[in-house]
Structure 1
Amino acid sequence: MSEFPFLPLDPEPCVGIFWSYQNSLFHAESSLVTRGMSTSISVDYKVGHYAAWFLMQKRGILDKLPPSYRSEYDMIPRGRVVYLFRKKKFVIYHGDDFTERECSDIKSIFSLPEEWTIDDVDMHYNPLPEDFEF
């Protein structure tokens, strides 16, 4: 059996990262699942939020945000789409303030098939509180 039992699907589903702002999708980056970064347990996107934020800044994408939200990649909600081999599912990881509309947008943009997709809250993807100290 293929490690991707949902293939062939057209369009092919993707893995990637995304950010939300004011309960709508702000920016997403992805690659086809068959071109993602494969580990023993999953297929993930090859670029992390930190590196992508730096590139978004250089390309002027962050200019669409108010200045107070542009300094750090974790100032606004973010998430990740991965494919888990054991579950045979795509998982949309997100913070606890993720809306149905955002979930629907991610499924559409990443071409995620409904029957092969779940979503899961991961507190890691919540923005840091303003009073957080390291």
Structure 2
Amino acid sequence: MSMTTPSTETAIPEPNPASDETPMPSVGIFWGVPDGGRTVLVSDHTILPEAEAYGDCLTHPRGHHNVWEAWRKLGATTLRRRGLPPAIAGHEYEAFPRGRVVYMREPALFTLYADRRLQRPDTIIELVRRFGLADERHVVRSDAHYRTLV
């Protein structure tokens, strides 16, 4: 699975290089996008110390729509060159299963809200690894907001 992360708030996310390093705990958004007969995980995330406060939670400052539209504007060729699935260019952000990782300050818990189609053990393991949550308390939950209707 592939995953992306931005360098600044206005930057278009670039793919992460392969690394054995454990990433810092992060919050963010993600999708499962079809690419060549498989589902590729793509995301945009923020390390916890840079996350935004939202009530009792810390969350990612960018939304699904804004990030997706920035990627779509790149076009299929540039997306592929950057390691992103070209299917992004021809679809709305709601077309593929998606989710969000938030941090709840009380009770010090990361929550992965994910479309049920992304709640497969291998996908959750990848999300936990990529968002740096392996050593953190976390749960996986469904939410009507992250449900693909197609």
The Cα offsets for residues 51-94 of structure 1, whole Å up to 9 and x where unpaired, read as: 01101112343652287xx3310000000000011221000000
Q: Which residue of 123, 127, 137 maps to 1:116?
A: 137
Aligned residues between the structures: 118
Q: Which residue of 95, 98, 122 maps to 1:101?
A: 122
- State the partner residue of 1:128: 149
Instruction: Give secondary structure in 1 for the equivalent of 2:116.
Output: coil
Does 1:42 find its partner at 2:57? yes
Query: Where does structure 2 lack aligned partners over 5 or more consecutive residues?
Result: 1-21
Query: Where does structure 1 lack aligned partners over 5 or more consecutive residues?
Result: 1-9, 130-134
- State the partner residue of 2:106: 86
Instruction: Give secondary structure in 1 for the equivalent of 2:107.
Output: coil
Q: Is the 8 A contact 1:25 1:105 kept in 2?
A: no
Once the two structures are TM-superposed, the CA of residue 25 in structure 1 deviates from its matched residue by 3.8
The Cα offsets for residues 34-64 of structure 1, whole Å up to 9 and x where unpaired, read as: 1011123100000000001101112343652
- Distance of 1:25 and 1:38 partners within structure 2: 29
Does 1:53 find its partner at 2:68? yes
- Distance of 2:44 and 2:88 partners within structure 1: 21
**Identical aligned pairs, as a percentage?**
25
Instruction: Give me the TM-score of the superposition, normalised by structure 1.
Output: 0.77
Task: Look up the equivalent residue of 1:91 and give its one-letter code.
Answer: T
Q: Aligned-residue CA RMSD in angstroms? A: 2.2
Instruction: Give me the TM-score of the superposition, normalised by structure 2.
Output: 0.69
- Distance of 1:13 and 1:66 partners within structure 2: 26
- State the partner residue of 1:7: none
User: Cα 1:11–1:105, aligned 2, differ >3 Å: closer, same or farther?
Assistant: closer
Decide which structure has the larger Cα Rg and report it.
1
